[in-house]
Amino acid sequence: MLVLSHKIQIKNPTVKQERYFRQACGTSRFAYNWGLAEWKRQYEAGLKPTAFKIKKAFNAIKPVDFPWVFNVTKCAAEQAFANLGTAFKHFFNGSGQYPQFKKKGRRDSFYLSNDQFKTEGNRIKIPKLGWVKLTESIRFEGKILSATVSSNADKWFISISVQLKTSPVKISENQTDVVGVDLGVKSLATLSNGETIEGQKPLKKLSRRLARLQRKQASLTKGSKRNDRQKLKISKLHYRIKAIRQDGLHKLTHHLCQDFKIICLEDLNVKGMMKNSRLAKAISDMGFYELKRQLGYKAGLYGNWISIIDKWFPSSKTCSNCGDKKELFKLSERVYHCETCGYEMDRDLNAAINIEREGIRLLA
Ligand SMILES: [Zn+2]
């Protein structure tokens, strides 16, 4: 069963709505911290605490001790105990740290179970609050499972989990099995089937224009009107460049997920590459993290396997024909020439073939 979350910004929340959100987050955090303290107390008293027992203890005293929890949805407190139980489960099976007390302002959120809210177009009804406007309506069709309201900077968001009936995308009939992807400097990507995907052409021109604008701005007096105008121009251009780049990455990830079952690529050592200024430009232009993010969620939609190769795997230095490895292979050399078997091939294609092979080996 495929579950996807759609995170939507809450549109211009009123003062009352914001107060409610903050209160519900506070209630959730309070219940979690109370539960954690209670868990420790019970444990030290020789008892065997569980999330369920702790929730019962809380519910027994809340009408007298914490009457304000009734001001918001009951889920705010309830889910906190479930989360605490999960945190301890992770701690006990070794996959997590000992649960920590939650601090205000750090990842504030509260939960809503599906019987506690309803949606209608681009609005949502929250208990004890009423209708709240959203910037868009839910993108996916299916059974709504739950929602989480959270804040980031000064904005509020709601993330709605939906269980999809069917995969919303169709896989092309001629989807072949496997592809190796070499993310490049010269082109955006080279595939092991020989295909090259060029970066977006306008980017180069726009990047040059951006540099020109930035140089000009540096020469203007700070705080002057001309400087402000220049700043606005720069931020608009930044946005345009980002949108074009994003579009290019979407086209690439769509192509990969639609046409191949298994996608192999390198886990780029971005930090190390950033030290090399020539590569740094290409990598930041490409947005490797964004590429990984897109591949991750699209693979969920299309049902692909993603095989990530270790960043130290010598994909460029290895001969894809005989397996021999060069000690040194300069970035400026565009053709791989093997001294051992005499094989010659485009540098990026050779790397893509090695990546495909290594990716399959890791999955087998
Ligand atoms: Zn060779």
| Total Cβ atoms within 10 A of residue 165 | 12
Which architecture, in CATH terms, is 176-363?
2-Layer Sandwich (3.30)
**325 CA → ligand 1 middle, Å:** 8
Q: Distance from the CA of 347 to the center of ligand 1, in angstroms? A: 13
pLDDT (mean) for 349-354: 94
* CA–centroid distance, residue 314 to ligand 1 (Å): 14
Where do the DSSP E strands lie in 184-314? 189-191, 196-197, 260-266, 305-309
Which residues are marked as active site?
A: 182, 266, 348
Domain ranges for the chain, please list them.
Answer: 2-164, 176-363
Mean pLDDT of the region 288-314: 84
Residues 245-300 pLDDT 10s: 888 888 999 999 988 888 999 887 655 555 665 555 555 555 777 888 888 888 88
Instruction: Please say whether the beta carbons of 101 and 33 come within 8 A.
Output: yes
pLDDT at 67 over 90: yes
Question: Separation of 192 CA from ligand 1 center, angstroms?
Answer: 17
Average pLDDT over residues 110-137: 93
Flag whether pLDDT at 363 surpasses 90: no
Quote the DSSP letter at residue 14.
-
Report residue 311 CA to chain centroid gap.
Answer: 20
CA separation for the pair 38, 135 (Å, rounded):
40
**Which pLDDT tens digit goes with each residue over 196-232?**
988 776 677 888 888 898 888 888 888 888 888 888 8
- The mean-pLDDT minimum among 84-93, 148-157, 347-356 falls in 148-157
For 204, the 3-state DSSP assignment is: helix
User: What's the pLDDT score for residue 75?
Assistant: 94
User: Is residue 307 pLDDT above 60, yes or no?
Assistant: yes
b/e per residue 254-282 (b: at least 16 CB within 10 A): eebbbbbebbbbbebeeeebeeeeebeeb
